[in-house]
Homo-oligomer: A and B are copies of this chain.
Amino acid sequence: MEDSLTAYPPSISHDQLSSLIFNIKDWQITHGMQLKYGPDVESVSSTPIGVTVFPTTFPRALFEQAQALQPVYNRLYAAISEDEKWLYKVLTGLIDDGRFAAVLWGIHQQVKEEGYVQDITLGIFRSDYMVHVTPNPDPLAHHPQMELRQIELNTFSVAGGAHSNKTAQMHQFMLNNGSYTFLHSPQLSNNKIPKNETIDSLAAGLRSAHTAYGQSRYVKSSTPGILFVVQPRNVNICDERPLEYVLWEHDIPAYRAIFGAQLLEHTTLSPSRELLYQPSSLSEGVEIAVVYMRAGYDSEEYSLGGIEARLRLERSRAIKCPSILSHLATFKKVQQELAVPGVLEKFLSSEEAAIVSRTFAPMFPLDKESRAGRIGRQLACDPATASSYVLKPSLEGGGHNIYRRDIPGLLSNTPEAQWHTYILMELVNPLIQKNILLTPRGIYDKVAAIEDRSDFDAENEAEEQSSLDRLSTKEGGPTVSELGIFGVCMWKKPGPGWDWIMLNVEAGWSFKTKPDYIDEISVVKGFGCFDSPLLIDT
């Protein structure tokens, strides 16, 4: 593998890079790999989303390990979502705090008091990993030791499925048409990008839930629909719309409603709590079989209107993708609790627990009561030890993390009573590779860095980019990649004498690559790119 790191991808000429970029951007524009901009329906423009020029090599064994793990992770998080008492115990500190977790828990409590009318839940999950490199204990060994480390498991509003699907098609197209032939690269000629049919797989999950819901109960004249709950002024429609189009191809009506006031305006509950959606194009409302959440993941979306909208969805008979308890299962605090020895065995067999926990990084709470919490505090407050850790607020999916030597300062400015809302996680020592990244912030290669500016505005930046010519070499810069495995799981409230898991499949992958000096990947913000893994046998 070390050989391949230095050799792949090799330097190329200005003309060759130019031609590759030209072909990539045209493919993206023609295939809808875009970010959409524009204040209203009338003036709309778009730019290609960030992608890598080359696929990045990835160890086949680790890729297959991640795929094989997914059904186990699916069932684990389904089980957690149905264990209200355990979830409450784990999240109780956050709930008492009165912030985001408390809002969601409050909605759950309110619906629970009235009684849930739907006992089926659909989960579309994504488990994210990086390759962690450890020194090989055998000094004569040629290769460093590599293992899969889970970064997080997302249960809510999981993105990147459609873009990843198309990125795989794009890199495969480039491989097929000889775009990389001049490189004479054994990696590119001997290895394969794994199939990625995430769009169809995720849509199949939504279709299964639609089937499970059955016929319309209230609006008997029409087929029930699937409602995509989305954010306003959404730049990432190209990651959502393809799923809708597949559903329509299968004669399943799919609609979009903006979370909050617009959703409240266009939906009602029938007396028997069927969710009815009124599209502007129809005179009669449509009964909703499945609510697919692509919004509502940020605490700032929960104004009074946001809370009321979420409450209406949860009260309804529609199958939620996912339920509010599944949403709460994505909080970091849950991830950290699962890493406590013995906890996984509550949900999994000991064999399963063993293979799952092998992907966990060392994690610590920061409470002052537990022994683990006291160790965590010690590691976090000392700049020397903090430099190997990341501090994660126990919020939704990602972001807002604090890294390395910033941790002690952050903690000293935070009241100690709040420390328990964070978890401390050992940083991955990532496998460094090379690539050229095409981002809305410009091209990243060996000499050109992507600017880490907080005032960056992709919409207005395109024109200001300096030209390709500024790059003195056309050689990849150091990069780090993150593999996501999608999972689709559908289950009903567990009860005696039935198989509560109705559907449990691995459902495709996403693969993102960023400059090695940037901590968090956000393709939409212009940090990092969609990529494809080129599976190699190490």
Do B173 and A43 have beta carbons less than 8 Å apart?
no
| A282 surroundings in chain B (CB, below 8 A) | 178, 181-182
Contacting residues, chain B, for A468 (C-beta < 8 A): 40-42
Given the complex, which residues of B lie within 8 Å of A93, measured CB to CB? Answer: none
- The proximity string for A residues 38-72 relative to B, scoring 1 for CB distances below 8 Å and 0 otherwise, is 10111111111000000000000000000000000
Residue A413 is within 8 A (CB to CB) of chain B in the complex: no
Q: Which of A11-19, A150-158, A359-367, A508-516 contacts B (4 or more CB under 8 A)?
A: A11-19
Contact B443 A42 (CB under 8 A): yes
Residue on B nearest A14 in the bound complex, by CB: B280
Question: Which has the most chain B C-beta neighbours within 10 Å: A46, A242, A443?
Answer: A46
CA distance in complex: A256, B152 (Å):
44
| Distance A29 CA – B20 CA, assembled complex (angstroms) | 22
A414 at interface by CB-CB < 8 Å: no
- The answer on a CB contact under 8 Å between B46 and A46 is yes
Given the known interface contacts A32-B30, A47-B45, A468-B40, the answer about A281 and B237 at a Cβ–Cβ threshold of 8 Å is no
Q: Which chain A residues in 416-454 approach chain B with CB under 8 Å?
A: 442-443
Interface string of A54-94 (1 = CB under 8 A from B): 00000000000000000000000000000000000000000
A30 B242 Cβ-Cβ under 8 A:
yes
Chain B residues with CB under 8 Å of A46's CB are 29, 34, 45-47
* CB of A146 closer than 8 Å to a CB of B: no
Closest Cβ of chain B to A53, distance in Å, is 11
- Chain B contacts of A442 at CB under 8 A? 42
Interface residue A462 (Cβ < 8 Å from any Cβ of B)? yes
Q: With contacts A253-B177, A281-B179 known, is A241 near B44, CB below 8 A? A: no
Asked if A412 lies at the interface with its beta carbon under 8 angstroms from chain B, I say no
The answer to whether the Cβ of A467 comes within 8 Å of any Cβ in the partner chain is yes
Interface centre among A15, A32, A237, by most chain B C-beta atoms within 10 angstroms, is A32
Q: How far is it, in angstroms, between the C-alpha of A465 and the C-alpha of B18 when the chains are bound?
A: 33
Contact status of A26 and B281, CB under 8 A, knowing A178-B253, A462-B43: no
State the Cβ distance, A21 to closest chain B Cβ, in Å. 4
Minimum CB–CB distance from A199 to chain B (whole Å) comes to 11
Q: Which residues of A from 165 to 210 have beta carbons under 8 Å from B?
A: 173, 176-182
B40 touches A467 (CB 8 A): yes
> Which A residues between 22 and 40 are near B, CB-CB below 8 angstroms?
22, 25-27, 29-32, 34, 36, 38, 40
Q: List B contacts of A27 (CB < 8 A).
A: 241, 245
Cα-based distance from A42 to B48 in the complex (angstroms): 10
Closest to A284 in B: B181
A36 to B23, CA, bound (A): 13
State in angstroms the CA–CA spacing of A393 and B173 once bound together: 44
Min C-beta distance of A176 to chain B, whole Å: 7
> Among B25, B30, B466, which residue has its beta carbon within 8 angstroms of that of A41?
B25
Q: With contacts A30-B242, A177-B253 known, is A182 near B281, CB below 8 A?
A: yes
Instruction: Tell me if A407 counts as interface (CB < 8 A to partner B).
Output: no
**Interface check A463, CB cutoff 8 A:** yes
Asked if A517 is at the interface of the complex by the 8 Å CB criterion, the answer is no
B29 pairs with A283, CB closer than 8 A: no
List chain B residues, Cβ under 8 A from A242.
30
Determine the distance from Cα of A201 to Cα of B32 in the docked complex, in whole angstroms: 23
Q: Is residue A456 contacting chain B, with contact meaning CB distance below 8 A?
A: no
Q: Is A116 an interface residue (CB 8 A)?
A: no
Give the chain B neighbours of A25 by CB distance below 8 A.
41, 44
Let me know if A238 is at the binding interface, CB within 8 A: yes
Contact A280 B15 (CB under 8 A): yes
Report A459-492 residues with CB < 8 Å from chain B CB: 462-468
The answer to whether residues A30 and B237 also contact, given A45-B47, A253-B177, A463-B43 and a CB cut-off of 8 A, is: yes
The reply to whether A38 and B248 form a contact with Cβ atoms under 8 Å apart is no
The docked-state distance in angstroms from the alpha carbon of A16 to that of B173 is 39
Chain B residues near A283 (CB-CB < 8 A): 181-182
A19: nearest residue on chain B (CB-CB)?
Answer: B280
Interface residues of A in 90-132 (CB under 8 A from B): none
24 contacts between A and B (CB under 8 A): A19-B280, A25-B41, A25-B44, A26-B237, A26-B241, A27-B241, A29-B32, A29-B34, A29-B237, A30-B241, A30-B242, A30-B245, A38-B462, A40-B467, A41-B468, A42-B467, A43-B463, A45-B45, A46-B46, A176-B248, A177-B253, A177-B254, A178-B253, A180-B281
A contacts, CB < 8 Å to B: 13, 15-16, 18-22, 25-27, 29-32, 34, 36, 38, 40-48, 173, 176-182, 237-238, 241-242, 245, 248, 253-254, 279-283, 442-443, 462-468
Given contacts A30-B34, A42-B465, A177-B254, 7 further A-B contacts (CB under 8 A): A19-B279, A29-B238, A42-B467, A46-B46, A176-B248, A178-B281, A182-B282
Ordered nearest first, which 5 A-B pairs have the shortest CB separation? A30-B32, A21-B41, A43-B462, A19-B280, A43-B465
